[in-house]
Amino acid sequence: MKKIIIHSIPVGISLIWLVFTHHTFNPISLKGPSFLFFYLLLIIGFYVSIFILKLIKQKISEATFYFMISIFILGIIKLVKGIFLGKPVGFSIMILVVELIVILFIHLSTLSYKIK
Which pTM was predicted?
0.86
So what's the pLDDT on residue 57?
78
Cα distance between residue 24 and residue 16, in whole Å: 10
3-state per-residue secondary structure call for the chain: CHHHHHHHHHHHHHHHHHHHHHCCCCHHHCCHHHHHHHHHHHHHHHHHHHHHHHHCCCCCCHHHHHHHHHHHHHHHHHHHHHHHHCCCCHHHHHHHHHHHHHHHHHHHHHHHHHHC
Q: How confident is the model at residue 115 (pLDDT cuts 50, 70, 90)?
A: low
Number of domains in the chain: 1
So what's the pLDDT on residue 114?
57
The domain of 83 spans: 2-115
pLDDT in tens, 48-80: 988 888 888 777 778 888 889 999 999 999 999
Kindly state the average pLDDT of the residues 24-33. 90
